[in-house]
Amino acid sequence: MDTSIVKYSVLGVLVDPTSYAEATDAVLNAAREGRPFALTALAVHGVMTGVHDHAYNARLNAFDLVTPDGQPVRWALNLLYHTGLSDRVYGPTLTLKVLERAAAEGLPVYLYGSTEQTLDRLVTRLQERYPALKIAGREASKFRSAQPGEAEEIAARIVGSGARIVLVGLGCPRQETFAYAMRSRLPMPLLAVGAAFDYHAGSLRTPPAWMQRRGLEWLWRLGLEPSRLWRRYLLLNPSYVVRLAAQRLRIYSATPPAAATTRPESFPV
Protein backbone atom coordinates (compact mmCIF):
# COMPACT_ATOMS: atom_id res chain seq x y z
CA MET A 1 0.00 0.00 0.00
CA ASP A 2 1.27 3.51 -0.82
CA THR A 3 1.50 5.13 2.60
CA SER A 4 1.98 8.57 1.03
CA ILE A 5 -1.71 8.67 0.13
CA VAL A 6 -3.78 10.69 2.61
CA LYS A 7 -6.56 8.55 4.07
CA TYR A 8 -9.22 9.63 6.52
CA SER A 9 -11.02 7.64 9.21
CA VAL A 10 -14.76 7.24 8.81
CA LEU A 11 -15.78 5.33 11.96
CA GLY A 12 -12.34 3.69 11.94
CA VAL A 13 -12.37 2.73 8.26
CA LEU A 14 -9.73 4.55 6.21
CA VAL A 15 -11.24 6.10 3.06
CA ASP A 16 -9.48 8.00 0.28
CA PRO A 17 -10.78 11.45 -0.75
CA THR A 18 -10.36 10.57 -4.41
CA SER A 19 -12.08 11.13 -7.74
CA TYR A 20 -13.00 8.94 -10.71
CA ALA A 21 -10.02 10.25 -12.66
CA GLU A 22 -7.55 9.67 -9.84
CA ALA A 23 -8.88 6.19 -9.04
CA THR A 24 -8.89 5.16 -12.71
CA ASP A 25 -5.32 6.42 -13.17
CA ALA A 26 -4.18 4.50 -10.07
CA VAL A 27 -5.67 1.26 -11.39
CA LEU A 28 -4.26 1.69 -14.88
CA ASN A 29 -0.81 2.58 -13.55
CA ALA A 30 -0.73 -0.60 -11.48
CA ALA A 31 -1.91 -2.63 -14.48
CA ARG A 32 0.77 -1.20 -16.76
CA GLU A 33 3.49 -1.75 -14.16
CA GLY A 34 2.32 -5.25 -13.25
CA ARG A 35 2.21 -4.69 -9.50
CA PRO A 36 -0.20 -5.73 -6.74
CA PHE A 37 -2.95 -3.25 -6.00
CA ALA A 38 -6.30 -3.60 -4.22
CA LEU A 39 -9.24 -1.22 -4.51
CA THR A 40 -12.73 -1.30 -3.10
CA ALA A 41 -15.64 1.08 -3.55
CA LEU A 42 -17.18 1.31 -0.09
CA ALA A 43 -20.69 2.32 0.91
CA VAL A 44 -22.33 2.52 4.35
CA HIS A 45 -22.76 -1.26 4.52
CA GLY A 46 -19.02 -1.79 4.12
CA VAL A 47 -18.13 0.88 6.69
CA MET A 48 -20.55 -0.56 9.24
CA THR A 49 -19.30 -4.09 8.60
CA GLY A 50 -15.87 -2.76 9.50
CA VAL A 51 -17.27 -1.20 12.68
CA HIS A 52 -18.62 -4.56 13.84
CA ASP A 53 -15.80 -6.78 12.53
CA HIS A 54 -12.31 -5.58 13.47
CA ALA A 55 -10.54 -8.20 11.33
CA TYR A 56 -12.48 -7.04 8.27
CA ASN A 57 -11.78 -3.42 9.21
CA ALA A 58 -8.03 -4.13 9.37
CA ARG A 59 -8.17 -5.73 5.91
CA LEU A 60 -9.98 -2.71 4.48
CA ASN A 61 -7.35 -0.43 5.93
CA ALA A 62 -4.65 -2.44 4.14
CA PHE A 63 -6.19 -1.70 0.72
CA ASP A 64 -4.30 0.62 -1.59
CA LEU A 65 -7.44 2.61 -2.41
CA VAL A 66 -10.85 2.77 -0.72
CA THR A 67 -13.22 5.02 -2.63
CA PRO A 68 -16.36 6.69 -1.23
CA ASP A 69 -18.89 4.60 -3.17
CA GLY A 70 -21.95 5.89 -1.31
CA GLN A 71 -22.96 9.52 -1.02
CA PRO A 72 -23.14 9.23 2.81
CA VAL A 73 -19.47 8.21 2.84
CA ARG A 74 -18.58 11.20 0.64
CA TRP A 75 -20.63 13.45 2.91
CA ALA A 76 -18.73 12.06 5.91
CA LEU A 77 -15.37 12.99 4.34
CA ASN A 78 -16.62 16.49 3.62
CA LEU A 79 -18.21 16.91 7.06
CA LEU A 80 -15.32 15.58 9.10
CA TYR A 81 -12.32 16.63 7.02
CA HIS A 82 -13.54 19.37 4.65
CA THR A 83 -12.27 17.43 1.63
CA GLY A 84 -14.58 19.29 -0.75
CA LEU A 85 -15.45 16.19 -2.76
CA SER A 86 -18.06 17.10 -5.37
CA ASP A 87 -18.91 13.51 -6.30
CA ARG A 88 -18.65 10.00 -4.96
CA VAL A 89 -16.64 7.26 -6.72
CA TYR A 90 -19.35 4.70 -7.38
CA GLY A 91 -18.23 1.14 -8.09
CA PRO A 92 -20.36 0.48 -11.19
CA THR A 93 -19.37 3.80 -12.78
CA LEU A 94 -15.70 3.35 -11.90
CA THR A 95 -15.87 -0.12 -13.47
CA LEU A 96 -16.93 1.36 -16.81
CA LYS A 97 -14.25 4.03 -16.70
CA VAL A 98 -11.56 1.43 -16.01
CA LEU A 99 -12.88 -0.88 -18.74
CA GLU A 100 -12.97 1.95 -21.26
CA ARG A 101 -9.31 2.73 -20.58
CA ALA A 102 -8.36 -0.95 -20.52
CA ALA A 103 -9.98 -1.44 -23.93
CA ALA A 104 -8.19 1.58 -25.35
CA GLU A 105 -4.82 0.38 -24.05
CA GLY A 106 -5.30 -3.30 -24.84
CA LEU A 107 -5.10 -4.42 -21.20
CA PRO A 108 -6.98 -7.73 -20.77
CA VAL A 109 -9.36 -8.11 -17.81
CA TYR A 110 -10.49 -11.08 -15.73
CA LEU A 111 -14.00 -11.28 -14.25
CA TYR A 112 -14.31 -13.13 -10.94
CA GLY A 113 -17.60 -13.67 -9.11
CA SER A 114 -21.38 -13.79 -9.48
CA THR A 115 -23.03 -16.64 -11.43
CA GLU A 116 -22.43 -18.15 -14.86
CA GLN A 117 -25.73 -16.72 -16.10
CA THR A 118 -24.82 -13.21 -14.96
CA LEU A 119 -21.34 -13.50 -16.45
CA ASP A 120 -22.83 -14.62 -19.79
CA ARG A 121 -24.95 -11.47 -19.95
CA LEU A 122 -22.18 -9.27 -18.60
CA VAL A 123 -19.60 -10.40 -21.16
CA THR A 124 -22.06 -9.90 -24.02
CA ARG A 125 -22.96 -6.39 -22.90
CA LEU A 126 -19.38 -5.34 -22.23
CA GLN A 127 -18.23 -6.54 -25.64
CA GLU A 128 -21.09 -4.65 -27.27
CA ARG A 129 -20.13 -1.50 -25.37
CA TYR A 130 -16.36 -1.85 -25.79
CA PRO A 131 -15.62 -3.92 -28.92
CA ALA A 132 -11.85 -3.63 -28.32
CA LEU A 133 -12.09 -4.94 -24.75
CA LYS A 134 -10.09 -8.12 -24.17
CA ILE A 135 -11.68 -10.43 -21.61
CA ALA A 136 -8.89 -12.81 -20.68
CA GLY A 137 -11.05 -15.04 -18.51
CA ARG A 138 -14.07 -15.35 -16.26
CA GLU A 139 -14.85 -17.41 -13.22
CA ALA A 140 -18.17 -17.61 -11.40
CA SER A 141 -18.30 -17.67 -7.62
CA LYS A 142 -18.37 -21.11 -6.03
CA PHE A 143 -20.31 -19.67 -3.06
CA ARG A 144 -18.10 -21.39 -0.50
CA SER A 145 -14.82 -20.92 1.33
CA ALA A 146 -11.49 -21.60 -0.35
CA GLN A 147 -9.95 -25.02 0.15
CA PRO A 148 -6.27 -25.48 1.11
CA GLY A 149 -4.10 -24.60 -1.86
CA GLU A 150 -7.01 -23.17 -3.85
CA ALA A 151 -5.74 -19.58 -3.65
CA GLU A 152 -2.61 -20.57 -5.53
CA GLU A 153 -4.71 -22.40 -8.14
CA ILE A 154 -6.92 -19.35 -8.68
CA ALA A 155 -3.88 -17.08 -8.94
CA ALA A 156 -2.29 -19.43 -11.48
CA ARG A 157 -5.43 -19.39 -13.64
CA ILE A 158 -5.63 -15.61 -13.57
CA VAL A 159 -1.95 -15.08 -14.32
CA GLY A 160 -2.03 -17.78 -17.00
CA SER A 161 -4.93 -16.06 -18.73
CA GLY A 162 -2.78 -13.02 -19.50
CA ALA A 163 -5.10 -10.70 -17.54
CA ARG A 164 -3.75 -7.36 -16.34
CA ILE A 165 -6.79 -6.28 -14.27
CA VAL A 166 -9.17 -8.35 -12.12
CA LEU A 167 -12.74 -7.26 -11.38
CA VAL A 168 -14.21 -8.98 -8.32
CA GLY A 169 -17.99 -9.12 -7.94
CA LEU A 170 -18.65 -11.20 -4.83
CA GLY A 171 -20.60 -8.64 -2.82
CA CYS A 172 -19.57 -6.94 0.41
CA PRO A 173 -17.85 -8.16 2.60
CA ARG A 174 -16.89 -11.32 0.67
CA GLN A 175 -15.21 -9.48 -2.19
CA GLU A 176 -12.94 -7.42 0.06
CA THR A 177 -11.85 -10.54 1.95
CA PHE A 178 -11.09 -12.24 -1.39
CA ALA A 179 -9.17 -9.25 -2.76
CA TYR A 180 -7.15 -8.90 0.43
CA ALA A 181 -6.23 -12.59 0.38
CA MET A 182 -5.28 -12.54 -3.31
CA ARG A 183 -3.47 -9.20 -3.48
CA SER A 184 0.00 -10.51 -2.71
CA ARG A 185 -0.47 -13.44 -5.09
CA LEU A 186 -1.29 -11.39 -8.20
CA PRO A 187 0.92 -8.87 -10.04
CA MET A 188 -2.03 -6.73 -11.07
CA PRO A 189 -4.85 -4.63 -9.60
CA LEU A 190 -7.93 -6.24 -8.05
CA LEU A 191 -11.09 -4.13 -7.94
CA ALA A 192 -13.91 -5.10 -5.57
CA VAL A 193 -16.83 -3.56 -7.44
CA GLY A 194 -19.92 -4.76 -5.57
CA ALA A 195 -23.11 -4.90 -7.60
CA ALA A 196 -21.41 -3.69 -10.80
CA PHE A 197 -21.65 -7.14 -12.39
CA ASP A 198 -25.40 -7.30 -11.80
CA TYR A 199 -26.02 -3.73 -12.93
CA HIS A 200 -24.01 -3.98 -16.14
CA ALA A 201 -25.41 -7.44 -16.91
CA GLY A 202 -28.92 -6.01 -16.65
CA SER A 203 -29.85 -8.18 -13.66
CA LEU A 204 -30.44 -5.12 -11.48
CA ARG A 205 -32.18 -1.93 -12.55
CA THR A 206 -30.14 1.24 -12.05
CA PRO A 207 -31.72 3.78 -9.69
CA PRO A 208 -32.72 7.17 -11.13
CA ALA A 209 -29.98 9.79 -11.11
CA TRP A 210 -31.89 12.01 -8.66
CA MET A 211 -31.96 9.18 -6.09
CA GLN A 212 -28.24 8.59 -6.54
CA ARG A 213 -27.43 12.29 -6.04
CA ARG A 214 -29.47 12.39 -2.81
CA GLY A 215 -27.96 9.24 -1.35
CA LEU A 216 -31.19 7.26 -1.75
CA GLU A 217 -29.82 4.33 -3.70
CA TRP A 218 -30.31 2.21 -0.57
CA LEU A 219 -34.06 2.89 -0.76
CA TRP A 220 -34.11 1.76 -4.39
CA ARG A 221 -32.22 -1.44 -3.55
CA LEU A 222 -34.48 -2.05 -0.57
CA GLY A 223 -37.53 -1.81 -2.81
CA LEU A 224 -36.04 -4.34 -5.22
CA GLU A 225 -34.89 -6.86 -2.59
CA PRO A 226 -36.70 -6.12 0.70
CA SER A 227 -36.47 -9.58 2.24
CA ARG A 228 -32.71 -9.78 1.70
CA LEU A 229 -31.69 -6.19 2.43
CA TRP A 230 -34.03 -4.83 5.10
CA ARG A 231 -31.65 -5.53 7.97
CA ARG A 232 -28.73 -3.97 6.09
CA TYR A 233 -30.47 -0.69 5.45
CA LEU A 234 -33.05 -0.25 8.20
CA LEU A 235 -30.64 -1.17 11.00
CA LEU A 236 -27.21 -0.14 9.72
CA ASN A 237 -28.12 3.23 8.18
CA PRO A 238 -29.45 4.81 11.43
CA SER A 239 -26.48 3.38 13.34
CA TYR A 240 -24.11 4.94 10.79
CA VAL A 241 -25.71 8.37 11.20
CA VAL A 242 -25.59 8.23 15.00
CA ARG A 243 -21.96 7.09 15.08
CA LEU A 244 -20.96 9.68 12.49
CA ALA A 245 -22.53 12.45 14.58
CA ALA A 246 -20.68 11.11 17.60
CA GLN A 247 -17.40 11.11 15.68
CA ARG A 248 -18.07 14.69 14.59
CA LEU A 249 -18.63 15.66 18.25
CA ARG A 250 -15.51 13.69 19.25
CA ILE A 251 -17.41 11.46 21.66
CA TYR A 252 -16.92 8.34 19.52
CA SER A 253 -13.50 6.81 19.07
CA ALA A 254 -12.86 6.34 15.37
CA THR A 255 -9.32 5.06 15.78
CA PRO A 256 -8.52 2.44 13.12
CA PRO A 257 -7.76 -1.02 14.52
CA ALA A 258 -4.30 -2.57 14.39
CA ALA A 259 -3.14 -3.37 10.87
CA ALA A 260 -3.76 -6.84 9.48
CA THR A 261 -0.55 -8.84 9.44
CA THR A 262 -1.66 -12.15 7.92
CA ARG A 263 -3.96 -13.27 5.14
CA PRO A 264 -7.20 -14.95 6.26
CA GLU A 265 -6.85 -18.73 6.41
CA SER A 266 -10.24 -19.12 4.77
CA PHE A 267 -11.88 -16.71 2.36
CA PRO A 268 -14.85 -16.80 -0.02
CA VAL A 269 -14.39 -17.95 -3.61
**Closest alpha carbon to 179 in 48, 269, 91:** 269
What's residue 220's pLDDT? 79
15 burial level (CB within 10 Å; 0-12, 13-18, 19+): buried
Between strands 189-192 and 109-113, the pairing is: unpaired
DSSP label of 258: P
* pLDDT of the chain, 269 residues: tens digit per residue: 554 568 999 999 999 999 999 999 999 999 999 999 999 999 999 999 999 999 999 999 999 999 999 999 999 999 999 999 999 999 999 999 999 999 999 999 999 999 999 999 999 999 999 999 999 999 999 999 999 999 999 999 999 999 999 999 999 999 999 999 999 999 999 999 988 999 999 988 888 888 888 888 878 778 888 888 787 788 889 999 999 999 999 998 888 987 766 677 689 99
What's residue 262's pLDDT? 65
Q: What is the pTM of this model?
A: 0.92
- Given CA atoms 216, 221, 59, 259 in this order, what sign does their dihedral have? positive
CA 141 – CA 157 distance, rounded (Å): 14
DSSP label of 63: S
What's residue 3's pLDDT? 46
Domains detected in the chain: 13-248 (3.40.50.10700)
